[in-house]
């Protein structure tokens, strides 16, 4: 009888772990800190699934504050970045810019202005390659070269602390290589798809429908529809009780579990 009970219990755990894994991997993990087990965060083996399943119990009462970080990938760009910075200043919103080191070298005055306006700057590699196709040495060289390029023009501590893989592409090897550099890998809880050809209204509708608490929104600084959508987005989220913060501040004010398992909180139409 004890053997039968044990077998049933193991089967239930395996099924629950499988369901937990399926749920957890429907969205990209939003944050990986240097001390987290990357294999257990993204892995498909039984140990990884069991670890995530166990965490769902230990963190079931995790506080999920109504904080939102607008993050902008790529650039800076000579035309769109100034327009974006003007809009953010008008809206009294500080955002996080994941800058490409090579582009920052090309437009140093814009890199300086991003910091001078009170925004956060983070590492988006030097040349924007697909890191899932790179070796460990190549991944680390891209991150460090990007960091050093940005530090020529800005002194934000986040340049040394926060990075995002281009296109959100990574492997376990990629993540572990970045962790060894003591970076936090910042991904997102929502991708409105502004890298495609979309209208401001489509960006807004997506963000309202897929809002989370807390939220890291993936946006791009080289897109005019994104800039046009910002006033309404900011107004709607503020009306719903959200506070706009940088990615670094959001990470400090919440937990990796709360971000990686953010609550879906659609804004009413």
Give per-residue pLDDT as tens, 12-49. 334 333 333 332 333 479 999 999 999 989 877 776 66
- 123 pairs with which residues across the strands? 99, 163
Tell me what pLDDT residue 51 has.
Answer: 66
pLDDT mean across residues, the chain: 88
Task: Work out the pLDDT band at 207, boundaries 50, 70, 90.
Answer: very high
Give me the residue spans of the domains in the chain: 2-58, 67-264
Task: Work out the pLDDT band at 89, boundaries 50, 70, 90.
Answer: very high
Assess whether pLDDT exceeds 90 at residue 8.
no
Instruction: Report, at the CATH architecture level, how domain 67-264 is classified.
Output: Alpha-Beta Barrel (3.20)
Alpha helices in the chain (DSSP H): 2-24, 38-42, 46-58, 80-91, 101-106, 108-116, 136-151, 158-161, 172-179, 200-209, 224-239, 247-253, 256-260
Cβ atoms of residues 69 and 250 within 8 Å: yes
pTM: 0.87
- The per-residue pLDDT for range 141-182, each reduced to its tens digit, is 999 999 999 999 999 999 999 999 999 999 999 999 999 999
Cβ atoms of residues 159 and 181 within 8 Å: no
Query: Mean pLDDT over residues 96-107, rounded?
Result: 98
Assess whether pLDDT exceeds 60 at residue 107.
yes
Residue 166 φ then ψ, to 5°: -55, 135
Tell me what pLDDT residue 60 has.
Answer: 65
DSSP for residue 167 = G
Tell me what pLDDT residue 77 has.
Answer: 96
**CA–CA dist 117, 58 (Å, integer):** 40
- The per-residue pLDDT for range 119-133, each reduced to its tens digit, is 999 999 999 999 999
**CA–CA dist 95, 71 (Å, integer):** 6
Active site amino acids: 73, 220
Assess whether pLDDT exceeds 50 at residue 97.
yes
Assess whether pLDDT exceeds 90 at residue 268.
no
Task: Work out the pLDDT band at 52, boundaries 50, 70, 90.
Answer: low
């Amino acid at each position: 009888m004890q053997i039968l009970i044990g077998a049933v219990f193991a089967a239930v755990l395996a099924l629950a772990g499988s369901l937990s894994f399926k749920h957890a991997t429907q969205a990209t993990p939003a944050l990986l800190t240097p001390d987290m087990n990357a294999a257990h965060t993204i892995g498909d083996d039984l140990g990884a699934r069991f670890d995530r399943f166990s965490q769902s119990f230990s963190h079931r009462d995790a506080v999920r504050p109504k904080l939102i970080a607008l993050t902008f990938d790529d650039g800076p760009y000579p035309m769109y970045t100034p327009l974006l910075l003007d809009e953010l200043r008008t809206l009294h919103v500080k955002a996080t810019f994941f800058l490409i080191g090579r582009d920052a070298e090309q437009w140093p005055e814009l890199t300086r202005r991003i910091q001078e306006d009170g925004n956060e700057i983070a590492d988006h590699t030097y040349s924007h390659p697909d890191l899932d196709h790179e070796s460990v040495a190549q991944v680390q060289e891209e991150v460090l070269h990007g960091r050093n390029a940005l530090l020529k023009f800005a002194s934000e501590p986040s340049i040394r602390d926060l990075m995002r893989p281009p296109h959100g592409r990574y492997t376990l090897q990629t993540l572990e290589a970045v962790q060894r550099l003591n970076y936090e890998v910042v991904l997102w809880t929502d991708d409105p798809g502004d890298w495609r050809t979309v209208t401001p209204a489509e960006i807004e509708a997506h963000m309202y429908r897929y809002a989370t608490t807390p939220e890291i929104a993936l946006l791009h600084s080289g897109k005019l529809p994104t800039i046009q959508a910002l006033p309404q987005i900011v107004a709607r989220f503020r009306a719903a009780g959200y506070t706009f913060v940088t990615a670094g501040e959001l990470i400090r004010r919440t937990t990796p579990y709360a971000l990686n398992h953010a609550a879906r909180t659609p804004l009413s139409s």
